[in-house]
Chain A
């Protein structure tokens, strides 16, 4: 990554169909407003539905270890989703993506946006691996991680209490090392 400054990671990313725009704190807060009370999204993100606006505000903070990107449909100039990344001290980057526009469900947004973000952030000085925890019943996300080439690490049995059904659920774990991504994509820049 050497040679890339922090500002390099806050530049907008252009994909085939979208502008993936880095958000400031307020934008990061606003971009989640549309799905904050959506039961399906909350359930799939394994979040507690009872967050207050203040808690959402705290969760929305951004810095050199927490990034939020708005996914903007370039054709309609409309935000259709958001992507969040949190980097922990051990160099793991946790990833979350929400596509709130039904028009884009099943249309490959995950693959296009996530690949572009990892292309950039695999060179981030604080990231050595990307990891994801996915509800075992979230088949669409599982498909997306498999398609992108993430390694299935394993699963944790009954470690999540579903906030809606109150039933215990399994969680599936995926990972991708930065070096493996770079190697697989054949990019060494």
Chain B
């Protein structure tokens, strides 16, 4: 699980263009200024790159915070 958290933090930091240590569990698309529409697009593409497959519309819609990034990355 720790590995998943660090991976999801790394993915989010790349997409939002911020350092990993600034990524925290309270971050969501509603409360993070760096999380704009371009960052969101980068985030989905980063997750797809990590998973090696395209996300379904349900999965895309579910991605709203660090926890959901982690959940999507951990699903096989």
Chain A residues in the interface with B (C-beta under 8 A): 105-108, 110, 136, 139-144, 146-147, 152, 155, 170, 172
Contact = CB atoms under 8 A, between A and B. Distances in A.
A92 B11 CA distance: 38
B interface residue count range (under 10 / 10 to 19 / 20 to 34 / 35 or more): 10 to 19
Task: Please report whether the interface of chain B is mostly helix, strand, loop or mixed according to DSSP.
Answer: helix
Given A139-B41, A143-B29, A108 B57 contact: no
Contacts of A142: 40, 60-61
A143 B57 contact: no
Interface of B: 29-30, 36-41, 44-45, 57-58, 60-61, 64
Identify the 5 closest CB pairs spanning chains A and B, nearest first: A106-B38, A143-B40, A140-B37, A155-B57, A139-B41
Given A139-B60, A152-B61, A146 B29 contact: yes
Nearest to A143: B40
Given A142-B61, A152-B61, A172-B57, A147 B41 contact: no
